[in-house]
Amino acid sequence: MNPASIMKIMNAKNKFTANHPKFVCFLSAVFSRGIEAGTVIELTVTRPGEAPITTNIKVQQSDLELLQELKTLSGQM
What is the distance between the alpha carbons of residues 77 and 67, in angstroms, rounded to a whole number?
Answer: 16
Backbone dihedral angles phi then psi of residue 59, each to the nearest 5 degrees: -65, 130
On whether both 58 and 77 belong to a single domain, the answer is yes
What is the structure's pLDDT at 31?
Answer: 82
Cβ atoms within 10 A of the Cβ of 39, count? Answer: 14
On whether both 11 and 47 belong to a single domain, the answer is no
On whether both 29 and 40 belong to a single domain, the answer is no
Please tell me which residue, 65 or 1, carries the higher pLDDT value.
Answer: 65
On whether both 40 and 77 belong to a single domain, the answer is yes
What is the structure's pLDDT at 67?
Answer: 82
pLDDT at 56 over 90: yes
What is the distance between the alpha carbons of residues 42 and 54, in angstroms, rounded to a whole number?
Answer: 7
Give residue 26's domain range.
Answer: 1-34
Query: Number of helices (H) and strands (E), helices first, in the chain?
Result: 3, 2
Query: Per residue in 10-51, pLDDT tens?
Result: 999 999 999 999 999 998 998 898 889 999 999 999 999 999
On whether both 17 and 51 belong to a single domain, the answer is no
On whether both 30 and 48 belong to a single domain, the answer is no
pLDDT at 76 over 70: no
On whether both 28 and 50 belong to a single domain, the answer is no
Q: What total of structural domains would you count in the chain?
A: 2
